[in-house]
Amino acid sequence: MKAITFLLHTQQPILATSLQGDPNSDVSHDYILGSMIRGALIGRYLRQNNIKHTDDILDSQRFPDIKRLFFDASKTRYLNAYPVDIDKKRTLPIPLSWYKNKGEEFSEDPDKQGKPVYDFSKISIDERDEDLSPKLLEEKFCTVSDSDVLLYRVKRRINIHNQRDRKRGRGIEGSGAVFHYDAIDAVQTFQAVVLCDSEEDKSIIESLLQLEDVWLGGSQSAGYGHVKIELLNNDGEWYEVGIDSKKRIERNENLTITLLSDTIICDEWGQTVTDPERLRQLFSESLNEEIKFQKGGIYASSLIVGGFNRKWGLPLPQTPALAAGSVFVFEKVDIEPQYFQKFLQNVETLEEQGIGERRVEGFGRVVFNWLDEETEYKAKLPEQETQIKQQVNTIKSLKPESSKIAVGIADRIVRKKLDEILIQKVSSIYLNNQEDISNSQLSRLMLVARQALYEVEFEQTKPENERRSITVLAEPVNGLLRNLPSNARRQFERSKLDQHIHIWLNEPDTWLKDSWRSNPQTKNLVVANQPKVNIAGKEQDIDVYIALEYSLRLIMAVIKKTMKDKNND
């Protein structure tokens, strides 16, 4: 088996559409599908050999190589591109037999201990901790080193779009629906693998990977899909889990099979099913050995998979499949010594070829006895700084003009996210006895806050060493609250609005950064526990002047909401 390994550096968001989420939106997988890579290389092969799209490319007389290179799963297989770890090695799907205690959160702090993760496939029901509240891990990918585990999250980007009329270039009545794309974010690295049987095929596929730029996935004309290829040297033996099958088979008592990709299987009548018993039958046939499930040895999930055929311009049929990470534990197989070598060959064939349908696209990847007998692992997240360095290294240095544009884009993204946080914050605030505050006092506070906001915005146009301090800029509002007449002060105290304002003005970055870190849309945009947006290596964070600006905007929004609620009452 020959392995071609290469890195995919995302330059734009990637839309590898899965069948989940709202039907009017597209939600991407957390990885780049093997079918997308295969499709891109088919297009390159056709262009290099001047083959027209009207030709019958499966005509083996005219094109003897095409079927073997792209459509015969027994000869060539295009594996999914999974995220890389800090050493640029391919991560793998987390086993579905792994559980954590409910409420545990993993940290990227190198000084903190990893949190325990339990492998229930190695722990009998009677031996499990009764105080444990087991919960599946939210992360999707991992690397394992003895009892230490690093968990990896793929950064995502949600973009809002509206449908446009092709002639007018804008939305019109009946053609202006709003939808969103939940895509893999840019500036991330994935490792892809192509497996083939001959040096000749390896050379052909490597020649297709020489051109650095490639576009993958959907909506390529709308700013999605740009990827850069980095071909890796891989002349030695390649194993998907890094350990050869003989060592893995010999070290474990039971036989454990883990699915490293989604797997489509059919019953004896050709209907797709997700029945573990049918999978057991297929494994028994492939191994030429009857194997039986261990009691409670199934940790599996199912999903619906589809795809898109650019040749047809149509989606592929939707079929049920067993999910990547599914774990199946079988009873110990007693094999006579004279038959062990044959059994081992069958295992190696299964791991090389996979099982089930659409194997040429990366479906059906399996591994035997991936993990040793460890029952508990210490898991944590990789250091954020390491991930950022790795991402920045994939980007070429920008020209000054481009650098300025990148900073501007990052600033707009930060402000867009802050606007969303501000709206959520206002909607969550309810004042006590708000009807006791007179509109005249609220209007007076609004005018002072608006004037302070103008001053803050003006200060941000100056060099940092020439700006007034935020204490000075917040003083007009603080001064107003300190010098209120006794009656007006009681109104603010009963509603506790003065307490809120005191916190927002004197600790402006505290509430804002806490909201950023806890918001589902922004919690992944954090470096060293600080909010940060990175565009082409240029970072934009939240300084105290931005924080004060949004604190003043928050005060004004709360005042408007209070006055509106009073009028409605």
pLDDT at res. 438: 83
Mean pLDDT of 117-124: 87
- Helix/strand/coil for 97: coil
Phi/psi at 367 (5° precision): -140, 140
pLDDT band at 374 (very low <50, low <70, confident <90, very high): confident
Query: What confidence tens digit (pLDDT) does each residue in 333-370 have?
Result: 888 888 888 988 999 999 999 999 999 999 999 999 99
- Of 150, 115, 108, give the one whose Cα is nearest residue 383: 108
168 vs 117, more confident: 117
For residue 421, the model assigns a pLDDT of 87
The answer, yes or no, to whether residue 252 has pLDDT greater than 80, is no
Q: Which pLDDT belongs to residue 352?
A: 92
H or E element: which one contains 228?
strand 226-231
Residue pointed to by tokens 């299987």: 265
Under the banding of pLDDT at 50, 70 and 90, the label for residue 182 is confident
Higher pLDDT, 523 or 557: 557
Q: What pLDDT was estimated at residue 315?
A: 82
74: burial class by Cβ within 10 Å (0-12, 13-18, 19+)?
Answer: exposed
Give 286's pLDDT tier (boundaries 50, 70, 90). Answer: very high
In this prediction the pTM is 0.68
- According to the model, what pLDDT value does residue 259 have? 95
Q: Is the pLDDT of residue 84 over 50?
A: yes
Give percent of the chain with pLDDT exceeding 70.
91
3-state secondary structure 389-438: HHHHCCCCCCCHHHHHHHHHHHHHHHHHHHHHHHHHHHHHCCCCCHHHCC
Taking each helix axis from N to C end, the angle separating 508-518 and 400-428, rounded to the nearest 10 degrees, works out to 90
| Average pLDDT, rounded, for the chain | 84
Mean pLDDT, rounded, for 529-551? 80
Task: Report the first-to-last Cα separation within the chain, whole angstroms.
Answer: 75
Per-residue pLDDT averaged across 48-76, rounded? 85
The residue to which tokens 């806050």 are assigned = 449
* Mean local confidence (pLDDT), 477-497: 85
Which tens digit of pLDDT belongs to each residue from 157-171?
877 766 666 565 565
Name the residue with higher pLDDT: 320 or 59.
Answer: 320
Distances (CA, A) of 55 to 48, 61, 264: 15, 12, 30
Contact criterion met (CB below 8 Å) for 231 and 206: yes
Residue 202 pLDDT exceeds 80: yes
Given a cut of 50, is residue 385 above it in pLDDT?
A: no
Distance CA 160, CA 137 (A): 29
- The better pLDDT of the pair 492, 347 is held by 347
**Residue 39: partners with Cβ closer than 8 Å, 6 or more residues away:** 310
Lowest mean pLDDT among 49-63, 293-307, 350-364: 49-63
Of 135-144, 393-402, 424-433, 529-538, the poorest mean pLDDT is in: 393-402
Residue ranges and CATH numbers for the domains of the chain are 2-239+379-391 (3.30.70), 245-369 (3.30.70.1900), 396-568 (no CATH)
User: 5-14, 301-310, 425-434: which has the minimum mean pLDDT?
Assistant: 425-434
Confidence bin at 176 (pLDDT 50/70/90): low
Residue 78 confidence (pLDDT): 95
Nearest-angstrom CA–CA distance, 480 and 552? 14
Compute the distance between CA of residue 48 and CA of residue 46 in angstroms, rounded to an integer. 6
Strand order in the sheet with 134-136: 92-93, 141-145, 148-152, 376-380, 115-119, 98-101, 134-136
* Mean pLDDT confidence for 171-180: 63
- Compute φ and ψ for 448, nearest 5 degrees: -65, -40
* Confidence check: pLDDT of 393 > 60: no
Confidence of residue 388 (pLDDT cuts 50, 70, 90): very low
Q: What is the pLDDT of residue 382?
A: 86
- Lowest model confidence (mean pLDDT) among 90-94, 318-322, 366-370, 513-517: 513-517
Q: Place 389 in a pLDDT band, splitting at 50, 70 and 90.
A: very low
Q: Is the pLDDT score of 21 beyond 70? A: no
Q: Which helix (H) or strand (E) holds 303?
A: strand 302-305
Identify the band that residue 9 occupies on the pLDDT scale cut at 50, 70 and 90. very high
